[in-house]
Structure 1
Amino acid sequence: MNKTLSAFFLSLFFVSTTVVAQKPKVWIYTDMSDNTIPGNNHMKTVNDPDDISGMAGYLLMANRFDTKGIVVTSTHRSEHKNSGNQADWANDFFGKAYKKDVVNLNKNFGGYPKNIEFIQSCIKESAEKYNSSTVYNSLEKYKTVALLKDEVEKSTEITNVLCWGSLTEPAILVNYCIANQRFDLLKKLRFIAHWTNSSLHQGTPADPAKVANCNEDRSACEFLKEQALNGSIAFYECGAIGQHGIVSGSPKGLEYYNQFKKSNLGKIFSEGKFVQDAVDHSDAATYWVLLGNWGVSLKDIASNGTNLPEVEKKNEEQFFKFSKSIHEELLRRSKAAEN
């Protein structure tokens, strides 16, 4: 075979493998909200703004995922009863930045959707928590849970549900599937949670669930962990490896993070939650483990909801080692988005 023909077939091989490669389907539940709404947490906001930086990072990486839905304000803060439509806020705040940056991102990388839309959580105004004694036969009252159910129903692939806050909505969905014997849907779901369990950080060996995201709705947390342990669902608990791996191991100083501010998404990333000389985007652990080649992958985490301290420690150390590379990748994309 001559060199020209050989090169032709080689190019066909690369084209075919690119087409065949499937982007993981992603659905995100986040407690994120407008950080100008005053509240009583340690940042004086209603919800911790770390999810804002985490979301900006996700959007910079969005060509690596097939984003099916992003639900905001999935939280139990009473202040949100009258805080205004947070989907409108997110679609304006992130939507405008994304639309400005996506042109150059597609020029330099390709594969980004033209726009990504946000949905307001069905529990945002009610602050409802999962009730362990309730059988959720219907999702009529739970629009954003029903939307995820419909998405899973029409797909033949696994949908990865990234949980950045309360587990109320995922728990309602699992309860619904069990009540209606929709085990076919449960097989197409994979839950990846940030810090709903840790013996090392916030939690204790005696009570590893004593962490913020589990305390938000302990009933939902316990229900999902029980279902994972008995094999009904796949639930990957990241623990605190985002905070104490990616964030703790990150570059420090304004000089470094000011480099992000020349792009719209980069500016949001760097300013969303800048504390202790670095950006807090710890929930990002859920999508970096899904990508799988940045120090920790799903293979390194149990699928039954457990989070042994020795496993969490090892994964924390791995993310710490890879943190600089993760931030350099985000910076590379932020610079490519400059306009």
Structure 2
Amino acid sequence: MTDQPTGRILIIDDSEHNRYLLSHQLHRRGHTVVTAIHGRQGLEYAQQQPFDVILLDLMMPEMDGFTVLDQLKRDPQMRHIPVIVISAIDEIDDVVRCIDSGAEDYLTKPINTTLLHAKVHACLERKRLRDQEQAHLMAIRYELDLGRRMQADFLPERLPHIAGWEIAAAFVPAREVAGDFYDAFLLPDQRLVCLLGDVCDKGVGAALFMALTRSLLRAFAEQAVLNGDDPLRAVAMTNEYIARHYHASRTFSTIFCAIIDPASGTVRYVNAGHPVPVLIRTDGGVEMLLTTGPAVGWIRNAHFSTETTTLEIGDTLFAYTDGVTEARAPNGTLFGEDRLLATLDPSLGGNNNRLEAVQQAVMAYTGRQQPEDDLTMLVVCRRSAA
């Protein structure tokens, strides 16, 4: 019998004779047993101590078994303790009522010791399986929370402050960790780098690739400037690194990378398969910053061309991930670029107002409290001459 699982068992029964018989049998199998003489005392014990199984008599003074069972199942801390109800053989209707209310099993008086041990053993096994499941889920939640906090450390703590310019970003992950990323930082020569990316997968794997891709882009861009090279080469260098070392994973990222000269407003950019950013002119005109190369990490020796435009005073650059335009209404239709452009009303004023307006419009369109895909946006506005 030594290989049988043992546990802490609470017996709630007003009969001293029943308590003795049950305790004696359970002690013989190595269980730790606590007894309560009525329902109220049993509830107090259950609240104060951990138990693996409760044996509950139905007919008791002070508080009957039905009330005890109801209160056990209402309490989040006790509701998962298996309860075996004990009844007279002619109280089967009461047993059915208890099973409907959450009792695990039942025994009839007089107690058959073989059934007692079999049912207690089954309850202990189910309790242990559930405890293991809960411990596993808690470990996963901890790991995801740790991943979320680590991922937040990879996003910029604060955005650059440049006289005459306004920069803002929004990041709304669909899960604990996300595959989207954004970055904005100043190069040693004081040019502004704006990055926005979206890893093709979701979950922890995508978050890891997000961290890798963002770190490579920043490091290669800064290295290029120090070497007197074009920082936009960081996109091609990142592509080669990922395609060479992680080709088997078939993971890739769409990336928009722009280098902005704050003094002149010149914008040089690479759009690596990313949803098309928009440049909103102060006169209401719109310029689309089209794709200039494939997604990063998909193929080696990919060609990424560079395009140039200019942000005049009053112009706004708005970049986003596909979680915005590919958000779906309940009928399956996409939010789309037209709705996005209609939401970017110049009368909204500051960049944060625009970001909030887009986020609210997407949530209202989908009818969801949380996005189905990550929502990430970066907006840069030239307010005045630097």
Q: Same fold (TM over 0.5)?
A: no
Give the TM-score of the pair, scaled to structure 1.
Answer: 0.30
Which structure dedicates a bigger proportion of its chain to strand? Answer: 2
- Higher normalized contact order (CA 8 Å, seq sep 6+, divided by chain length): 1
Give the TM-score of the pair, scaled to structure 2.
Answer: 0.27
| Structure ID, larger Rg | 2
